[in-house]
Structure 1
Amino acid sequence: MSETATETLSVVVEREIPFPQEKIWRALTQPHLIEEWLMKSDFMPQVDHRFSFRGEWGSVDCQVLVVEPNKTLSYTWAALGLESVVTWTLTAAGKGTHLRMEQIGFRPDQQQAYQGAKYGWQKFFAALEQVLAKPD
């Protein structure tokens, strides 16, 4: 199998979360909640909206691609030479929601970013679950 210049890696994290899609959607789309588990942002769930995530290490430039309330959210994620896309998919499952996050677009030479994302999203998911566990 030959490696082509377009071959990229992706990070996928999936969890069954015991909360309704609407509650998880709020945590994914309301800036004051996003800040509790991810980073400060000026996010708005509107297609083409440009926004950024800001952390102590720097910032991520993003643009909203897809908004299907309580189902799908997708945005570009550009930082430190990485041009990627993050897609959240929410599906009803049992008494809760199957939440899937996929970040695509890591080039083979971006191992540091790729490994960092694999580690980072696990931490972000854990923090997201803590935010969701708080009473509304």
Structure 2
Amino acid sequence: MSDTPTETRSVVVEREFPHPPDRLWRALTQPHLIEEWLMKNDFHPAVGHRFKLQGEWGGTLDCEVLVVEPDKALSYTWNFTHADPAFDLRSVVTFTLAPTGAGTRLRMEQTGFRPDQKQAYGGARAGWPQFFEKLERVLEKSA
């Protein structure tokens, strides 16, 4: 196994939602809705905006908006700083929305997991499907 620092892994979760892209976009970009399915936050959909996501586990993620294409794509950094640098996570989350005949296909890709970050990688693989379940409930309520 190589120790190349650029060698990273990604987590990808895709799901079709029976809602139009604009409804998903609102849930991805309005702070009160983001809080319902993801975490407490001070998000604003503007490239360069720095914001925090506050986890129920007591940790805070430092984020910066990288891409905003309404109803199409949203990307931001997802960084966690730990007292032990081995647990520092520098990643990017990208949401891509694609209209379908029945609604919208949402693709989330989180990139940047180092090979030694098995716990963070496993947490993301388990966590994102749960976030998508909560997102579905938020979308149903806001229908």
TM-score norm. by structure 2 comes to 0.91
Q: CA deviation at 1:95?
A: 2.0
The runs of at least 4 aligned residues of structure 1 exceeding 2 Å deviation read 1-5
Q: CA deviation at 1:14?
A: 0.0
Q: CA deviation at 1:64?
A: 0.1
d(CA) in 1 for partners of 2:2, 2:38: 37
Query: After alignment, is 49-58 or 81-90 more displaced?
Result: 49-58
- Structure 1 residues 45 and 111: CA distance shift in structure 2, 3 A: same
SS at structure 1 position matched to 2:131? helix
Q: Structure 2: 5+ residue runs without aligned partners?
A: 83-87
| Counterpart position of 1:118 | 125
Q: CA deviation at 1:108?
A: 0.1
Question: Counterparts in 2 of 1:54-133, with a 5 A limit?
Answer: 54-57=54-57, 58-79=59-80, 80=82, 81-133=88-140
d(CA) in 1 for partners of 2:119, 2:128: 14
Alignment coverage as a number of residue pairs: 136
| Counterpart position of 1:35 | 35
SS at structure 2 position matched to 1:15? strand
AA of the residue aligned to 2:121: Y
RMSD of aligned alpha carbons: 1.2
Q: CA deviation at 1:134?
A: 1.2
The question of whether the paired residues in 1 share the 8 Å contact of 2:98 and 2:106 is answered with yes
d(CA) in 1 for partners of 2:2, 2:117: 18
SS at structure 2 position matched to 1:116? helix
TM-score norm. by structure 1 comes to 0.96
d(CA) in 1 for partners of 2:141, 2:79: 31
